Chains A and B, each alone.
Chain A
Amino acid sequence: MRRITGEIRAKLIEAAGVSAYFDDEESLLSHSYDATPMLQAMPEAVIYAQSTNQVSAVLKICHQYEIPVYTRGAASNLCGGTVPVHGGVVLVTTRMNRLLEIDEENLTATFETGLTTKALHQAVEAKGLFYPPDPGSMLVSTLGGNIAQCAGGLRGLKYGTTKDYVIGLTAVLPNGEVIHTGGKLMKDVAGYDLTKLLVGSEGTLAVITEATVKLLPKPQATSVMLAYFDDMYAAARTVSKIIAARIIPSTLEFMDHGTILVVEDYAKIGLPTDMKAILLIGQDGHPAVVEEDMEKMRAICMEEAREIKVAKDMREAEELMTARRSALSALARLKPTTILEDATVPRSQIATMVEKIAEIGAKYNVRICTFGHAGDGNLHPTCMTDARDQDEIERVEEAFEEIFAAALELGGTITGEHGVGIVKAPFLEWKVGPAGIEVMKGIKRAFDPKNILNPGKMFAGQTRKRVVINR
């Protein structure tokens, strides 16, 4: 990789504008990290992108001189996806944050990708519309980041994730060419589906500057309840029974015993600490359907749950949701370093996977609590540790390696919604196989022959050997 010399710097400043180009120490340091623990690397320049044309101009120069470009929104991602490991330019999109259009006839929204997810939610909901993807970071995360990582969220089970909503993109290729994919079309099979390919491409193929997403009518009613179980398998069976009863709830969240203990200790909201699992179950839609589904699910839960709490109104519903939302806060306060992981299994395997995680945590003597989206099998085993304790960190990394292996053995995957980035790169081949990796690398070469976009991500220098370490 080339360095930014005086000549290249002058060209970049000309392309970006003086007010958008920074290479002072403070700017470089404050763009050397994202939300991933223990990863940091210094860029050589930071550019605040203003428009598609400007991104194009910047990329043309970087392409010519082979300068790495790391696109970054709010840098809330958890896989090291925006850490500039090879230096170069960090291209920040947060200034491109206009909501361009809410099309109420076609039920679509078009925006610049620096817009925050929450801002889109508020704008479309004010018009009685609904954009379902709701990653935990939506208050801060940009839609561009959501698209690049294919973010999920609590509503994934019923409504799917980001890839199910993005229907059109404007993106700048590494050589500066601008492409438009898809459009306001619900049906479009013209050629390869580049829209879907770019969603989840983690900034390695193109810089996505504008997007069009489809919207749904806003559900008229929502209702939630909590069910407490004194046996993990009872909770897991309940999940399966709900799905088998042909009900797709809008929310089906899970907390394990460890998480319950920590959340209750932190939030003091009256959770039963002797319970092994809690399910948070919700439905939205037409009021009559919501009522009927909630009644059916309550009956199913009654078979095995120790206790059920149904929210009487929205305020009580909010209180119940607090339990699940508090999970991250509570865990994050316990120890300095919080490693929030993302192993996913078929939903029939949740109980087995949760047990496995607990066993692995015990084996390596590290504290791992698990919560997540039971409905879609997306679990967040979360480790409370301290980055300064090198010995423990090594054990944590070994434990997670084993957790990913366990997830794959159960027919799962190494990441359900956070992406590969740096953190999962050594494990990607485990999931997709050597031939899969080769196809992916071929796609990367087709888009980015000089490997300037987000280099060092997705594909590891070396795949981890898949052996379980026994100490």
Chain B
Amino acid sequence: MKTKEIQGKMPQVEKTPVTRRLQDKLNYDELSNCMRCGFCLPACPTYRETGREASSPRGRIALMKAAVDGHLQNGKQLEDQLNQCLGCRACEPACPAGVKYGELLEQARDALEDHARHKVWVRVLRRFFFHFLFPHPKRLRWLGRLLIIYQKTGLQWLLRKLGFLKLLPSYLREMEAVMPAAASKGVAEQLGNFIPAQGKKKGTVGLFRGCVMDVLFTETNINTVTLLSEAGFDVVIPPQQTCCGALHAHSGEREMARSLARQNIQAFKQREVDYIVSNAGGCGALLQEYEHLLEDECEAKEARWFSERVKDISELLLDHGPVEKWGTLEARITYQASCHLQNVMQVKEQPRQLLRQIKGATYVELFEADRCCGSAGIYNLTQPEMSARILDEKMKHVRATKADILVTSNPGCLLQMKAGIQRAGLSDHMKAIHVVDLLAEVRQKGESRY
């Protein structure tokens, strides 16, 4: 009765190559699972910024479904909406029906990628990062060396002094300003591929060192190894591992992501590890989803073996870290969650609990700490305007915490927070740091005391 009354009000349009590709790639069951209750709306950062239904998860799913059902003529707007999505996946925990939005987003982006009409500079950036750089640790290392030359020879100082950087768009300038010092040697080159447990051995951990992480945040990787070893784990760093593929998967390059996943699974499969530990929420989340990324393939079993072992560093440290031996830190600390760490890996409380355990420190909860900071992989480069709006909102709440230290658990978020602190003029009062680095600092203080 009611269904028949309404039908015919929806336009039926000719299928285009784009809508056909969407039809092939999108999981129709998952699209149907969205019951349009709207519970995802308040969770979505771009909905809150724009107030537009089409910029919400419910709206985006409706557009995807309309494309598949033949109600949508023009794929361009859908593409724009998908590009505008941060992929923070805050909508997933909010969804009563458990719709796997992240999966739909990846499938849709994958389908649209072939028809993508990126701006030239976006295309160049994508090719450079996704294909040329991230999958190749050696090239990354070389880039790191170039960065060191830039940073250490005075070239950076000179360019800044001469005002050359003012030629860059403001968001790139902000990122340049907070770029950490690159390291010429990665964690394995500095510590070796096997670091034994201190004291009684509790198990073996494989370190997922990441790609950019190991060049720009080598110190964090080293601290991760040290903390794990102190906590009683043998740490192995399989040399054949590569980039996790998260940025690829999120940007519609699923084939590339699959191939990277296979390489990582093989790298770790050769070692008898109890856990595979990541210190970057964005990477860890995709590592945990390898099982689903490769679900149609014969490697599914191995992928499951891999995914089941993936843990965030904070989980292991909370359960096994010798917190009681750590030193004190008189500071006011707050925490910005990594979206993928909390929404996909479901790691919410562990980093907070670790911070609360630091003696002498006052932990203060950041309002809407669970809301995306706007970094979102390379989103802050591809969608600078929306990213900046979200960041400015975030920094208002950060300022209100009056914290001395802003802790994050993902490198992208860390850079974004550093840029945000500078942008908000808070550099004199506050620093941003990775949770692992803060704990390592606390630990060293402890050592000097004992």
Chain B 14-53 per-residue mask, 1 if CB under 8 angstroms from chain A, else 0:
0000000000000001001101111101100000000111
Question: In the complex, which residues of chain B have a beta carbon less than 8 angstroms from the beta carbon of A332?
Answer: 35, 37, 96-98
Question: In the complex, which residues of chain B have a beta carbon less than 8 angstroms from the beta carbon of A363?
Answer: none
Shortest CB distance B258–A (Å): 27
User: Is A75's beta carbon under 8 Å from chain B?
Assistant: yes
- The contact of B52 among A25, A27, A423, by CB within 8 Å, is A27
- The contact of B6 among A85, A336, A397, by CB within 8 Å, is A85
User: Is B78's beta carbon under 8 Å from chain A?
Assistant: yes
Determine the interface band of chain B, counting residues with CB < 8 A from chain A.
Answer: 35 or more
The main secondary structure of chain A at its interface with chain B is loop
User: Is A426's beta carbon under 8 Å from chain B?
Assistant: yes
Within 8 A of B (CB), among A61-96: 74-76, 80, 83, 85, 87, 92, 94-95
Shortest CB distance A460–B (Å): 9
Shortest CB distance A334–B (Å): 9
A26–B81 touching, CB < 8 Å: yes
Question: In the complex, which residues of chain B have a beta carbon less than 8 angstroms from the beta carbon of A31?
Answer: 53
Chain B 80-108 per-residue mask, 1 if CB under 8 angstroms from chain A, else 0:
01000000000000001110000000000
Question: In the complex, which residues of chain B have a beta carbon less than 8 angstroms from the beta carbon of A139?
Answer: 39, 42
Q: Name the residue on A nearest B94 (C-beta).
A: A139
Shortest CB distance A92–B (Å): 8
Chain B 238-273 per-residue mask, 1 if CB under 8 angstroms from chain A, else 0:
000000000000000000000000000000000000
Stretch in contact with the other chain, from B59-67, B299-307, B429-437: B59-67
Shortest CB distance B195–A (Å): 38
Stretch in contact with the other chain, from B69-77, B368-376, B442-450: B69-77
User: Is B3's beta carbon under 8 Å from chain A?
Assistant: yes
Q: Name the residue on B nearest A97 (C-beta).
A: B51
Q: How far is the CA of A139 from the CA of B41 in the complex (A)?
A: 9
User: Is A42's beta carbon under 8 Å from chain B?
Assistant: yes
Question: In the complex, which residues of chain B have a beta carbon less than 8 angstroms from the beta carbon of A30?
Answer: 52-54, 59, 62-63
With A137-B39, A140-B38, A336-B32 known as contacts, the answer to whether A422 contacts B73 (CB < 8 A) is no
User: Is A195's beta carbon under 8 Å from chain B?
Assistant: no
Question: In the complex, which residues of chain A have a beta carbon less than 8 angstroms from the beta carbon of B11?
Answer: 42
User: Is B10's beta carbon under 8 Å from chain A?
Assistant: yes
A422–B62 touching, CB < 8 Å: no
Q: Name the residue on B nearest A90 (C-beta).
A: B53
With A29-B66, A42-B11, A85-B6 known as contacts, the answer to whether A34 contacts B36 (CB < 8 A) is yes
A residues contacting B by CB (< 8 A) are: 24-27, 29-42, 48, 74-76, 80, 83, 85, 87, 92, 94-95, 116, 118, 137, 139-141, 328-329, 332-333, 336-338, 386-388, 393, 397, 422-423, 426, 464
15 A–B contact pairs at CB < 8 A? A25-B77, A26-B78, A29-B62, A39-B3, A39-B6, A42-B11, A74-B41, A80-B2, A95-B51, A137-B39, A141-B38, A333-B96, A336-B29, A387-B32, A397-B2
B residues contacting A by CB (< 8 A) are: 1-3, 5-6, 9-11, 29, 32-33, 35-39, 41-42, 51-54, 59, 62-63, 66, 71-74, 77-78, 81, 96-98
